């Protein structure tokens, strides 16, 4: 069962401790669509009162009904703890306007459409109506925080807090301080996210931050593979989710490289660079490690703390995690419509091409 809240509702009614400031008890979610709604559910279950705002009061009211109904479904499916849907019903309210939603909020999460002018306009309204102590977060997926910070009156209380989709169930949240965000504000937000059962990671401010820069680079290359006729989208998806995608919940790209051997990576990059040029050339950091004789787990050091002394223990843990993951996926069952490998959606295209 996925635990949405690390701390039961009754234990957090004291609110979030804020160093040198008041506590976070009330939240406003401005933009109550897919992401704003999911964030609102998680924060309500974590014990915060959440006011929803959208383009009209009717939209906000519809969103509240949808989110409560969805929470009931989650609960009956065993995805959130017993009683959590009642907590969502008790703590979520639909506001009559953006100004009404943010007036009493200690923390505002903006999740309107991904357009810089729209966000700037909404952030200006939030800044003007929110209390002077409120922390204002944007859920932008790609817009640098520094290009939005001018829209708020107090940039020291403004930052990016980028939740992943679906917000109730994906653990990591990127936290992106802007140029002027105060250290204390970042600390409060990290504590809030941890309390809500999330795994926050603070990253630098650049278009796409870390997650979408990586995700979109992968998507671009995947689309190129399809355009070149190497595999169909279903085949790419099957390969990714069953190969390096299967490994990623256990070890990230750097740990995987350290375990595989950095010399092996350097060798493969030579071929890739020959074929695809600069786009897939070996990164400098990899070349430097390898030329100094550091091959990761097998000898010397690598990108992570895994080295020749810890490699065996990491491998044992990794293998146990892979088997647990495979069991969990089998337990979840095939996707609706069947697994592409079993429905014949993959595998035929290449054979036909090669034999015709």
Ligand X SMILES: NC(=O)c1ccc[n+]([C@@H]2O[C@H](COP(=O)([O-])OP(=O)(O)OC[C@H]3O[C@@H](n4cnc5c(N)ncnc54)[C@H](O)[C@@H]3O)[C@@H](O)[C@H]2O)c1
Interacting residue ranges for ligand X, rule: CB under 6 A: 30-36, 53-55, 59, 98, 111-114, 118, 122, 139-141, 164-165
Using the minimum distance from each CB to ligand X, give the nearer residue, 49 or 59.
59
Are 185 and 157 contacting, i.e. CB atoms less than 8 angstroms apart?
yes
Bridge-partner residues for 161, per DSSP?
175
CB of 8 to ligand X, least distance (A): 27
Nearer to ligand X, 32 or 182 (CB): 32
Question: With respect to ligand X, which residue has the nearer C-beta, 164 or 297?
Answer: 164
CB closer to ligand X, 36 vs 81: 36
Q: Which of 312, 315, 333, 334 is nearest to 323 (CA)?
A: 315
Q: How far apart are CA 241 and CA 245, in angstroms?
A: 5
Angstrom distance (rounded) from CA 59 to CA 324: 42
Specify the residue, 69 or 267, whose C-beta has the smaller distance to ligand X. 69
CA angle 159, 165, 346 (to 5 degrees): 145
Task: Using the minimum distance from each CB to ligand X, give the nearer residue, 122 or 192.
Answer: 122
CA distance 68 to 66: 6
- Shortest Cβ 35–ligand X spacing (Å): 3
Return the number of the residue (215 or 241) whose C-beta is nearest ligand X. 215
> What is the smallest separation between the CB atom of 301 and ligand X, expressed in angstroms?
35
Distance, CA of 121 to chain centre = 25
By beta-carbon proximity to ligand X, the closer residue of 36 and 144 is: 36
| Nearest alpha-carbon partner for 181 in 139, 143, 142, 148 | 148
Which residue's CB comes closest to ligand X? Answer: 33
Structure tokens at 159: 């930052």
**Taking the complex as a whole, how short is the minimal distance between the CB of residue 288 and ligand X, in angstroms?**
34
State the CB neighbour count (10 A cutoff) for residue 207. 12
CA 147 vs. chain centroid, Å, equals 21
Q: Given the complex with ligand X, which of 92 and 345 has the nearer CB atom? A: 92
CA distances from 158 to 135, 137, 294 (A): 6, 6, 41
- How many Å apart are CA 290 and CA 257, to the nearest integer? 12
% helix, strand, coil for the chain, step of 5: 50, 15, 35
Residue 131 CB, nearest distance to ligand X (Å)?
A: 19
Asked if 209 contacts 177 with a C-beta cutoff of 8 angstroms, the reply is: no
Total length of the chain: 356
Q: How far is the CB of 181 from ligand X (least distance, A)?
A: 18
Cα(328)–Cα(243) distance, rounded to whole angstroms? Answer: 16
Least Å distance between CB 291 and ligand X?
39
Q: How far is the CB of 202 from ligand X (least distance, A)?
A: 17
Q: How far apart are CA 108 and CA 105, in angstroms?
A: 6
Query: Smallest distance, Å, CB 356 to ligand X?
Result: 39
């Amino acid at each position: 069962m996925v635990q949405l809240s690390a701390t039961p509702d009754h234990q957090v009614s004291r609110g979030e401790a804020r160093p040198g400031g008041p506590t976070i008890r009330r939240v406003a979610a401005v933009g109550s669509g897919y992401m704003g709604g999911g964030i609102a559910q998680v924060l309500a279950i974590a014990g915060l009162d959440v006011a929803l705002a959208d383009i009209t009061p009717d939209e906000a009211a519809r969103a509240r009904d949808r989110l409560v109904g969805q929470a009931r479904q989650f609960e009956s499916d065993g995805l959130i703890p017993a009683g959590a849907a009642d907590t969502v019903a008790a703590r979520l309210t639909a506001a009559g306007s953006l100004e009404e939603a943010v007036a009493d909020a200690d923390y505002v999460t903006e999740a309107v459409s991904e357009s810089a002018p729209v966000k700037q306009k909404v952030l200006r309204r939030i800044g003007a109506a929110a209390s002077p102590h409120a922390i204002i977060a944007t859920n932008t997926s790609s817009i640098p925080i520094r290009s939005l910070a001018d829209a708020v009156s107090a940039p020291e209380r403004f930052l990016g807090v980028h939740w992943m989709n679906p917000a109730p169930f994906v653990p990591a949240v990127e936290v992106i301080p802007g140029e002027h965000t105060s250290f204390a504000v970042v600390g409060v937000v990290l504590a809030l996210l941890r309390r809500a059962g999330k795994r926050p990671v603070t990253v630098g401010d650049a278009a796409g931050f870390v997650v979408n820069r990586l995700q979109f680079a992968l998507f671009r290359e995947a689309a190129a593979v399809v355009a070149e006729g190497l595999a169909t989208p279903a085949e790419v998806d099957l390969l990714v989710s069953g190969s390096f995608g299967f490994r990623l919940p256990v070890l990230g790209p750097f740990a995987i490289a350290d375990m595989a051997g950095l010399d092996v990576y350097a060798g493969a990059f030579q071929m890739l660079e020959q074929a695809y040029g600069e786009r897939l050339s070996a990164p400098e950091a990899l070349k430097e490690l390898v030329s100094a004789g550091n091959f990761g787990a097998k000898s010397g050091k690598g990108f992570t703390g895994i080295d020749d002394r810890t490699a065996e223990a990491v491998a044992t843990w990794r293998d146990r995690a892979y088997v647990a993951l495979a069991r969990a996926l089998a337990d979840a069952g095939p996707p609706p419509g069947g697994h592409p490998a079993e429905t014949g959606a993959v595998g035929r295209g290449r054979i036909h091409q090669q034999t015709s």
